[in-house]
Amino acid sequence: MDNLEQYEVQILFTEVLRGPKNKVVFKDYAFQVNHRNYFYPASTVKFPTAILALEKLTEDGQFNRDTPFFVEGDSLNTTFANEIRKIFAVSDNESNNRLFEYLGQDGINNRLKNKGIDARITHRLSTPNSDNLITKPLFFYLNDGTKVSTKPIINTPSKPLSIEKLKKGTGYLKDGQLIREPMDFSFKNYMPITSLHKTMKQLVFPENYPKKKRFHLTESDRAFLMAMMKISPKEAGYLDADHYDSYGKFLIFGDDKSPMPNTIEIYNKVGYAYGYLTDCAYIKNKNTHKEYIITATIHTNKNGIFNDGIYETETIGIPFLAELGRQLVIRP
């Protein structure tokens, strides 16, 4: 709070109120929210990608989340169910990129636009040629043993963003060299917290939106997605000590590696990169029978250098988001 400019904090907080006949009403609060002030959304973009991949599967009709497939040039045979599980349990980048090849940049952006969600997704995550405009085909194995492939998608070249605060810091590392100038995020993914928050509302409470703004998921796919958003790494098969319960839950429990209590349910997606930490979560407090949606971001990069790995993630970022969650959900 002593240096809001440095930390770039933005918070959206919604109380979910239930009226007669269980009708849902949102009571919204905002702190420093400005969709024109850029922050790097990191892995939070995997959240809409997972939703839209399931939506497209339903539209295609030939495949479902359990249909085996592989991406051209990839050695892994998998399913969309497996990849979505990894996305929410451990934020797996390769899993996201496999779904990205299925959707393509234009597919993601057009679908979000049709839902009234402001975003611009231009690239895959943590892979060479991440912004390649041509997607790779996917090869599906159908029940009768036949193999069906999708066609590569040729996507539209991205234009630079025209919003505020796109140039960040005082320098960045590139190929081991320190470049003494601000890092330019003009061609990076863009998903403001207003859009993340809206995505969560439209997924969890579709009845509050007209049909054309809803995500067109089967009841089975929607139930599966919600279960994956809540899953712990241990429940997903990651049994090592590094993948504790709150590994992907920054709000409320992010600074505590103890087992999470079953009195709080969190359905969420976090993202962290370049010193930015963001969490978008639907939270149910079973003790108070109250429900909330919280989306918050903070930037921790005191030295102003990007790609040097020196960020205050563990000392400031995660503790801030954890305490924020406790103040909003536990203490009212």
Q: Which of 115-124, 144-153, 187-196 has the lowest mean pLDDT?
A: 144-153
66, 71, 74, 79 alpha-carbon torsion, rounded to 10°: -10
Q: Which residues of 303-327 are buried (b: 16+ CB within 10 A; e: fewer)?
A: eebbbeeebbbeebbbbbbbebbee
Q: What is the largest CA-CA distance in the chain?
A: 63
Mean pLDDT for 65-72 is 98
pLDDT digits (tens, 9 = 90+) for 31-59: 999 999 999 999 999 999 999 999 999 99
Tens-place pLDDT, residues 96-146: 999 999 999 999 999 999 999 999 999 999 999 999 999 999 999 998 889
Note the pLDDT of residue 109: 98
Q: Give the angle subtended at the CA of 160 by the CAs of 87 and 54, to the nearest 5°.
A: 25
CA angle, residues 216, 126, 4, in degrees to nearest 5: 85
Mean local confidence (pLDDT), 3-27? 96
Instruction: List helix spans (H) across the chain.
Output: 4-7, 46-60, 80-90, 93-114, 193-204, 219-230, 318-325
- Structure-block tokens of residue 220: 């089975």
pLDDT at 90: 98
pLDDT digits (tens, 9 = 90+) for 240-269: 999 999 999 999 999 999 999 999 999 999
- Whether the full predicted model's pTM is greater than 0.85, yes or no, is yes
Query: Does residue 270 contact residue 305 with C-beta atoms inside 8 Å?
Result: no
Query: Rounded mean pLDDT of 186-194?
Result: 98
How do beta strands 276-285 and 264-273 pair? Answer: antiparallel
Q: Write out pLDDT tens, residues 279-302.
A: 999 999 999 999 999 999 999 999
Measured from the Cβ of residue 160, the count of other Cβ atoms closer than 10 Å reads 11
Query: How much of the chain exceeds pLDDT 70, in percent?
Result: 100
pLDDT number for residue 144? 85
Phi-psi region of 252 (alpha: psi -120 to 50; beta: other; left: phi over 0): left
Q: Are the CB atoms for 7 and 290 separated by under 8 Å?
A: no
pLDDT at position 332 is 67
- The class level of CATH for 4-330 reads alpha beta
Residue 150 confidence (pLDDT) above 70: yes
Structure confidence at residue 2 as a pLDDT band (50, 70, 90): confident
How many angstroms separate the CA atoms of 40 and 194, rounded?
A: 14
Angle (nearest 5°) at CA 23 between 22 and 27: 115
Q: How large a percentage of the chain has pLDDT more than 90? A: 97
SS3 111: helix
